[in-house]
Amino acid sequence: EAQVTQNPRYLITVTGKKLTVTCSQNMNHEYMSWYRQDPGLGLRQIYYSMNVEVTDKGDVPEGYKVSRKEKRNFPLILESPSPNQTSLYFCASRVGLAVYNEQFFGPGTRLTVL
Amino acid sequence: GENVEQHPSTLSVQEGDSAVIKCTYSDSASNYFPWYKQELGKRPQLIIDIRSNVGEKKDQRIAVTLNKTAKHFSLHITETQPEDSAVYFCAGGTGGGADGLTFGKGTHLIIQP
């Protein structure tokens, strides 16, 4: 089954404790991205990647890092999480680079930073 | 960069009535406008999209219209049903570009029985 998976689905942590949210897709998609969703603010892009070893900042990259060492995986790293990073995070992927191509979202990761 | 405004933030309609959600965009270079539906606790899923070379697109009970001159586009849902209750997001992007989509803030559609 073609899908985007994320782990963990739920995470409660404390300020300053490094964490990684994994994202994996089995559709051989070139383009992957991370969004955060906050009430009243919609979906905002954090980082995106056009292919292996190619990443770039989105609209709200502060406090996040990403890597793309393999085509299928695109982990999101919070080196020192803070309470304002409490949010619902979605990974997404699409084939090719053109924005016309349908974007597939993962199931989401709900992160709480205390 | 692109800015997408979406209205209303909440829309309540009677079952069977029509619902209309409106979005405006700022970047005249944007030429691709998808709509996503997000049910409670689920991921966003594409329900319909339109490119700037057409003015309207329909898929059963849903339709999207685009006015390039005014830079606005709308989602129309006819004969609403309980399963239409969800948050709907509009988005804009430039076809061929490697940037992501810019999303509106979302509309919570409530279908009253």
* B98–A50 C-beta distance less than 8 A: yes
Q: Could you give the percent of chain B with pLDDT greater than 70?
A: 96
Q: Which of A57-61, B31-35, B49-53 has the lowest average pLDDT?
A: B49-53
Mutant choice from B43, B90, B94, B107 vs A, greatest count of A C-beta within 10 A: B43
* A59–B1 C-beta distance less than 8 A: yes
Cα separation values, A48 from A83, B39, B106, Å: 23, 25, 22
CB pairs under 8 A between A and B: 61
Q: Could you give the percent of chain B with pLDDT greater than 90?
A: 84
Closest to B73 (Cα-Cα) out of B14, B18, B31, B109: B31
* B1–A99 C-beta distance less than 8 A: no
- Residue A60's pLDDT is 95
* B98–A100 C-beta distance less than 8 A: no
Mean pLDDT of B56-73: 95
Residues of chain B contacting residue A98, judged by C-beta atoms under 8 Å apart: 95-97
Residues of chain A contacting residue B21, judged by C-beta atoms under 8 Å apart: none
- Residue B4's pLDDT is 95
Cβ atoms of A94 and B98 closer than 8 Å: no
Residues B109 and B58: their CA atoms lie apart, in Å, by 19
Q: Which residues of chain A have pLDDT under 50?
A: none
Cα separation values, A103 from A19, A85, A87, B11, B91, Å: 26, 24, 21, 26, 12
Residues B52 and B93: their CA atoms lie apart, in Å, by 11
Please tell me if residue B40 touches chain A, with a CB cutoff of 8 Å: no
Nearest CB partner across the interface for B101, out of A50, A103, A108: A103
The overall average pLDDT reported for chain B is 93
